[in-house]
Structure 1
């Protein structure tokens, strides 16, 4: 279903949150710099977020994604640059005046308050009457599927339910922008997927601009309109999930987004030879020794007797429901992952050959001889 179709779903007329849902607010980072003493953690961050867009900041721990979110929320002051909401510079506007809802990794619920009162807390602080706040809090709880638990206390809820309450509390004030700081990382795998999908469904229904911080690439790929991949306080690439996976702009993005096997190759312009087999390069022409990023779905297993493949031995094979992922050790000790049908079994120690689909691959130039610069792990691709 497309975003526009999802937003056009019938709305419950007696739920004020749904009835009043707007088109979202634009968000702009303009050259955001953040220093902690002598350490610079954000290096001139530039991002344009469209009204109603769901964008994820994705990257490893320490890359600056949470700092960027806190600058947007007003919890941190930028050293340089500006933050705009709806075209208005809010860089010096305090957090409570920015009209932003925020959900953290920790639930941060008041243990002595009922679920309905936890949800209504922000409204009461804004001077909304008790009855009106309770009605709107009830709407928010219905939105996240917890209307029937309104009278319970936090200790009577599961972790996933507590995080839903935290989400309802962030939504009840009808903020212009919703910020999510790794809200799913404390949950078990099944609940994490369920709540992830629920957050996306609610975001589409409300049309609220959402910024989601995560280090989990699967989460980002599943729910985002666009993803900004960050590394060391900079953005390596920003684009749709399909763009990042199929057309990575740097080797870092290719390595971080999706699963790849890194194998040696010799590049000669627009092609690279992997065990003598030519594959097209994604991006600018390259020459010399490179690391090649092979996606497991672009590698297939063949019988050891078939000619023309790369010989190897199965090291392990993992059943993952609808498919299997098998690890093969080639004769030169390179490890290659293969994704294939679940019905295609491969046993430990079995001799096989590998074949490659001729799809464009990302490459990383290897370090040159001493005295010459290395292209490192972030060689730009076209």
Structure 2
């Protein structure tokens, strides 16, 4: 039997009535839809019943819990998982209501809420133990938090608190080195890796004439430090790129707290911007000196032998620049992850490092 074709080229809708031409392909389509959705045949459902109304009502009866006015696509999605529901506004709205808010990194969330000037500043706040998440002290800047979590930044206690936890580290080292002859008073100093200014704060309180604060980041320095007329701020400056032209007048004391870089790479530039008789009180971080393959779980160097090796390695590199070791001591506070750090007091004309002195500092320091 020949198929009927409209002038438009479209096939007529399938006719199921006897004695009429049958579009078998169309019939299969209609039959497929019929298996999913009741065919809107108002004649068999009573006069005056609209096809749309009956279809919705049938959907509600067939899928309990589906309101008569709900979009069939939602019911389809429940019965046949994977069926797209994008065409159904009601289903899309319901899905949006059930969506879980995205979790963010703590440092990024602190910046978003205006509690930190930058992610670097946020990391410093976390390292100082000043960030609370739902009442608990945060320990890692990468901690995932919900937008609904209560995040609080506590103020430093009044009195002898420095602008960052790092200030206590340098203060502890100077308490050891100053009685042996290291002097801060009246000297032009340089703080390599100033960050929020903990080391600079200590130098100013101990009588430094001026401090050149250098950091590769931007906007991290605490306002009380940045606004001090004795401080020269050099943001967005890599310590490896320091030259006399950048620093100006040579400095007589260099302190440093650098991360993600070995001190071996900055000793030369620091020596170039200092006076011939300058002192260096630099913090050695074993996790950045021994090599990634030798760092333990969580980025912590736990082997005392590796810690001593890191300190001895920096002392050897300094010796190549004509700098000896006047003293070595462990930082009184560990790093945020638990790494033990050490201060080396370097100076031209000082004796060579003694292995037993380094080993003693490792043994007496935090374990």
* TM-score, with length taken from structure 1: 0.25
Larger radius of gyration: 2
Higher relative contact order (CA 8 A, sep 6+): 1
* TM-score, with length taken from structure 2: 0.26
Higher strand share: 1
Higher helix share: 2
